[in-house]
A and B are shown apart, each in its own frame.
Chain A
Amino acid sequence: MATHKRGHKYPGRLIVVEGCDGSGKSTQVYLLRRWLEGNGYPVFFTEWNSSELVKSATKKAKKHRMLTPTTFSLIHASDFADRYETLILPHLQAGHIVLADRYVYTAYARDLVRGCDESWVHNSYRFAVKPDLAFYFQAPLEVSLHRILVGRPELKYHEAGMDLGLSTDPKESFRIFQGLIKQQYDRMVSRFGLTVMDATKPILELQQEMRAIVMVDLADYGNHHVYKALEQVAAAEELAPAIEQQTEHAPVAAPATEGGDEK
């Protein structure tokens, strides 16, 4: 991946992991996060489908199976937008490293499989910046299926793609659904410049590869003001253990940039 042409003008970095369920991406992003934090980088982690506000609606809707492909797409876009506007963007503006377990590509893959129009789905997410690095953990279908299905007694309705009517058997439906999702991911590799990781490799080897790629991308990451601000916070904490609460909110100068996300 090119280090120079960035998809946004913020001082922060956006690194995302994508892949089918059972591809091992969550483990990898967790290890990456530990490593970055251990090296003193300001890291913010966010995952799919976790906005407090939208979560209750999504949960209710899924439970009652009220969603059509369009509302399924829009409610996830709402969830993403909430996290984007309140969490991801401010961190990027402040120069932090944002790690996202799933990003817009997850929506692209799922919504297309559910029958939405491709350009319509892409447009919904147009406000989101292009990540600096997007890792796609690619595994043969049987490998990821095996990882998920072993030791799991029951699959959730939407997780198994039961709403698509592919099969009345949840496990069979899940197989077909994951296969379709994988096709979509594979299609996106060249179009969106995804960095393909061979998810069949051992965890340690994958993590080393990932760190090497990230290190190259961070070569020109020079947010000294962020380090400094965090150091000050750390120092203040040592001096006054009573006021530990403010760890996250160092007085970081956010560059006055605005509205650059809409292409």
Chain B
Amino acid sequence: MSDRWSYYGKGLPYLPQEDWPGWLVVMEGADGAGRSTQNGLLKEWIEQQGLPVLDTGLKRSTLVSKEITKAKAGNLLGRTTLSLLYTTDLADQLENQMIPALRAGYVVLADRYIFTMMARDLARGASRSWLEQLFGFALKPDLVIYLRTSPEERLHRALDKHETLDFWESGMDLGLAADRYTSFLKYQALLQDHYERMASQYGFATLDGSDSPHQIHHHVRELATRTLKGGGLVAAT
């Protein structure tokens, strides 16, 4: 489409080809990997540099997020339907929020992107080629930061934070184990495999999520500096 931007597949063929001045930075990693902490710090820092930031993430569209929440609460949906609803949600945000922000020169900071959706669906037996084509409308980010943590670490963090293991984060719908503890570890290990594979396929910048938030932020800043500098605007500190 342009020198600066491309899609993973067929893209959005009806959109005019333009060079949007903004940046798309994605923070990936399983729940409990410390994404929101890092996103918050990164946003703060980018704004200090003088660039505006748009915060986005999964399930935040005005279009279908309510329906997803409702359906998940009642465990009402088939797997394909849930995938497609999440995809609708992302496409809506991409076209109605992210691309307009990129056009306006924002740094779009996405708390998860197609990769988490793919990992979840792959763990549930979806076809890889189906998913890869489905997400062909997705814009390639300038930078994907992957916070790598072990399933055990995430387990302790989840218990610390919520005192309980969430039904979906434990992959209880998969029937991997009767109890949540075992199911959580098995499911999170499955997700891990898919993240690792994608890390090389899609060129993630992998960071060790077991480091201190401060250390991680330092690395995140380095990565962001390099990316944003490519646009010629930010002076590294």
Contact = CB atoms under 8 A, between A and B. Distances in A.
Interface of A: 53-54, 56-57, 60-61, 66-71, 74-75, 77-78, 81-82, 84-86, 114-117, 119-120, 123-124, 126-127, 259, 262
B84 A78 contact: yes
User: Which DSSP category, helix, strand, loop or mixed, fits chain A's interface?
Assistant: helix
A75 B90 CA distance: 11
Interface residues of B, number: 35
Contacts of A74: 84, 87-88, 91
Contacts of B9: 120
B13 interface: yes
Interface stretch (B132-140, B150-158, B168-176, B222-230): B132-140
B88 A71 contact: yes
Interface stretch (B32-40, B74-82, B108-116): B74-82
Contacts of A120: 9-10, 133-134, 136-137
B130 A117 contact: no
A116 B9 CA distance: 12
A66 B92 contact: yes
B127 interface: yes
A129 to B, nearest CB: 13
A75 B77 contact: no
A233 to B, nearest CB: 26
9 contacts: A54-B81, A57-B64, A57-B67, A68-B96, A71-B63, A78-B81, A78-B88, A84-B80, A117-B11
B96 A117 contact: no
A262 B12 contact: no
B127 A70 contact: no
B50 interface: no
A16 B234 CA distance: 58
Interface in B37-91: 62-64, 66-67, 70-71, 76-81, 83-85, 87-88, 91
Interface of B: 9-14, 62-64, 66-67, 70-71, 76-81, 83-85, 87-88, 91-92, 95-96, 125, 127, 130, 133-134, 136-137
A4 to B, nearest CB: 27
A123 B132 CA distance: 10
Given A54-B67, A81-B78, A119 B10 contact: yes
Contacts of A69: 12, 14
A124 to B, nearest CB: 6
Nearest to B94: A70
Contacts of A123: 130, 133-134, 136
Given A120-B136, A126-B130, A81 B63 contact: no
A81 B86 CA distance: 13
Contacts of B136: 117, 120, 123
B151 to A, nearest CB: 26
A60 B78 CA distance: 22
B130 A53 contact: no
Instruction: Across the A-B interface, give the 3 residue pairs with the lowest CB-CB distance, nearest first.
Output: A85-B78, A115-B14, A117-B10
Contacts of A54: 64, 67, 81, 85
Contacts of B91: 68, 70-71, 74
A116 B137 CA distance: 10
Contacts of B127: 126, 262
A77 B78 CA distance: 13
A114 B12 CA distance: 11
B130 A78 contact: no
Given A54-B81, A57-B66, 19 more contacts: A53-B70, A57-B63, A61-B63, A66-B63, A70-B137, A71-B95, A74-B87, A75-B63, A77-B88, A78-B85, A81-B83, A82-B78, A82-B81, A120-B133, A123-B134, A123-B136, A126-B127, A127-B130, A262-B127
